[in-house]
Amino acid sequence: MAWRTVNVKQQRIEFVVAVSRKQSSLSRLCQEFEISRPTGYRWWRRYQQKGVEGIEERSRRPQHSPGRAPLALEQRVVELRRQRPDWGARKIHCQLERENIGLQAGTIHPHSAAA
């Protein structure tokens, strides 16, 4: 048995067209299209507000990072990394503590921060 492939954009367009034609209740159409009701209502609402553009796939990337270190601190870490390329996150952390800068070693690690 082959898996069913679905073009998401086409599915969304077919769904909102079916809803706009009132072929069936929105709940029933959600069942037919195998999507949740909240997703169906979201697609319908976006379509009503912005048309086909509103139901395009959106980025899931966060709009902001509330836990991100301030830019000045990031620059200080980068500066220390350039000055001392052989130092790891723990040594840089100790140096920053001496400068009364409180960052966690995990924030300083190159895989965690934009260093």
Alpha helices in the chain (DSSP H): 8-20, 26-32, 37-50, 71-83, 89-98, 105-108
Number of domains the chain contains: 2
Cα–Cα distance for residue pair 56/81, rounded to 1 Å: 42
Which domain covers residue 49, as residue numbers? 8-55
Per-residue pLDDT reduced to its tens digit, 12-39: 999 999 999 988 899 999 999 999 999 9
Which of the pair, 1 or 80, is modelled with greater confidence? Answer: 80
Residue 65 lies in a domain: no
Whether residue 14 sits in one domain with residue 51: yes
Taking CA atoms, 51 is separated from 29, 48, 54, 58, 70, in Å, by 19, 6, 5, 14, 39
Per-residue pLDDT reduced to its tens digit, 39-50: 999 999 999 999
User: Model pTM?
Assistant: 0.52
Residue 36 lies in a domain: yes
Residue 28 lies in a domain: yes
Residue 1 lies in a domain: no
Residue 80 lies in a domain: yes
35 CB neighbour count, 10 Å cutoff: 16
Per-residue pLDDT reduced to its tens digit, 95-111: 999 999 888 878 887 66
